[in-house]
Structure 1
């Protein structure tokens, strides 16, 4: 299976797209659940407990944009 890697041009870190994660279909991690819960509360949105790791990562990015949290918030 070929893995696709994206480069973050700003800091040179290698970042893999969540859609390409080998374990992306597994349930979200405890850390993701905790952070996502915090972001949902701040954004006034419902928490979806059934998200996979990959889906949770994408949702976290969306909510970081909405709440102004995170490294990429406001850089849209």
Structure 2
């Protein structure tokens, strides 16, 4: 989970420093999608209200990144 948090933080920093139309490469988009699927899986498990809020916030941010930066992934 810690590694996931660092990856999400990295992608948030990268995305905030790029224009809204900059597209990530396929590998980055696949990683985002894998993280999104992992969160969806965690949301199907028991969790506290606080954990649920954090998971939902991460899921929303991942969806935003996918929608903005993965319409037409570059290369790889």
Task: Give TM-score scaled by structure 1 length.
Answer: 0.29
Q: TM-score with structure 2 length normalisation? A: 0.29
Q: Which has the higher strand share?
A: 1
Structure with the larger helix share:
2
